[in-house]
Copies of this chain bind each other. A is one copy, B any other.
Amino acid sequence: MIRRGDIAHLGHVELLTPRPAESAWFFEAVMGMEREAQEDGSVFFRGFGDYERYCLKLTESPRSGLGHIGLRASSEEALERVVASVERSGRGEGWSSGDVGHGRAYAFTDPDGRRFEVYHETEHYRPPDHLVPPMLNQFQRRTGNGVGVRRLEHVNLTSTDVRACRTFLEGSLGYRCFEVIEMGDGREYGAWMSATIQGHEIIYVLEGPAPVGRLHHAAFWVDTREEVLRAADLFQDHGIFIEAGPAKHTPIHSFYLYVHEPGGNRIEVTSGGYLVLDPTERATTVWPVERYRNSRAWGRGFPPSFDTYATPPYEEGSR
């Protein structure tokens, strides 16, 4: 039986890019992440606060979008419980021997068919000489380059059936849902889910135009809202397209800034928001969609593309 806490946290995200050199430049020079490894058409990047080796696997591909999401299980026993639970759901795909930085992993798909992998054994990061930090409780020193990402915070996925994805993560993986937006017709417009007390680690929002779920964005954490504002200056000065923000999200109240990396994937720089301490189901905020639309947090909101653009891009009639 799956338990809350069996999934410890979001481990890493694999992003696909048709422009690998430019995307790598973006994550290294603009986002200020470290290039930790390179293998078979993939480059692995880390934030300065990652205890594991990386939080981003960037993989060359004909189209942009999501490769897979890596989840770390809390222990080998927890991993076994997760695998058993996923197998019961019929969504399991089997074991692989692992990847750069982590051990054996069990693959499965969410109801949209997106690939997840869950693993427990991981390599703790060992900095090269020039990144050895002064304090024992730092994983590496800060270089001061670019935006200065601490870590991956969440991944936001579009889904044609938010409810199905939400209940799969709850029932089979032990996630909790902290905010959900309900449409009048029985469908759900969005679900903010977490394996921890962080307000969101995986988010599902209703897919707009495409017949399949896609990647809405991957969100990287900086420690302060001021760093989000600083990031906006850097993005503008580096010619990176800013789609929305900086402003305050209604769910979780986090501070957001959305850009498109050169490969086309939407990237969020985020900070703030609150932790959810209530351990019971009363922690979930249920928003009727009209109430949600009429009591948004401040900020000028989103352009239409925010509801329609995801990766890979979808052209009506193209499939």
Q: Which of A15-23, A239-247, A260-268 contacts B (4 or more CB under 8 A)?
A: A239-247
A274 contacts B236, C-beta separation under 8 Å: no
A144 contacts B142, C-beta separation under 8 Å: no
Q: Which of A38-46, A84-92, A156-164, A280-288 contacts B (4 or more CB under 8 A)?
A: A280-288
> A183-214 CB contact bits vs B (8 Å, 1 = yes)?
00000000000001110000000000000000
**A280 → chain B, closest Cβ, in Å?**
7
Q: Which residues of B contact A251 (CB under 8 A)?
A: 137
Within A1-16, which residues are at the interface with B (CB < 8 Å)? 4-5, 8-9
A233 contacts B9, C-beta separation under 8 Å: no
Taking the complex as formed, is A275 at the interface, i.e. its CB lies under 8 A from any CB of chain B? yes
**A307 → chain B, closest Cβ, in Å?**
15
> A285-306 CB contact bits vs B (8 Å, 1 = yes)?
1110001100101111101000
Q: Which residues of B contact A146 (CB under 8 A)?
A: 144-145
Say which size band chain A's interface belongs to. 35 or more
The distance in angstroms between the C-alpha atoms of A227 and B295, with both chains bound, is 22
Q: Which residues of B contact A223 (CB under 8 A)?
A: 272
Closest to A74 in B: B279
Q: Which residues of B contact A230 (CB under 8 A)?
A: 148, 227
With contacts A224-B226, A227-B230, A285-B136 known, is A75 near B280, CB below 8 A? yes
A277 contacts B135, C-beta separation under 8 Å: no
Taking the complex as formed, is A32 at the interface, i.e. its CB lies under 8 A from any CB of chain B? yes
Taking the complex as formed, is A69 at the interface, i.e. its CB lies under 8 A from any CB of chain B? no
Closest to A31 in B: B144
A300 contacts B300, C-beta separation under 8 Å: yes
Q: Which residues of B contact A244 (CB under 8 A)?
A: 300
Q: Which residues of B contact A252 (CB under 8 A)?
A: 137
The distance in angstroms between the C-alpha atoms of A234 and B238, with both chains bound, is 22
**A249 → chain B, closest Cβ, in Å?**
10
User: Can you pick out 18 interface pairs between chain A and chain B where the beta carbons lie within 8 Å of each other?
Assistant: A9-B197, A49-B274, A51-B277, A51-B278, A124-B278, A135-B295, A136-B286, A137-B179, A137-B251, A137-B252, A196-B197, A226-B226, A229-B248, A232-B248, A232-B299, A246-B246, A246-B299, A300-B303
Give me 4 other A-B pairs in contact (C-beta within 8 A), A8-B279, A246-B298 excluded: A137-B252, A144-B147, A246-B247, A300-B303
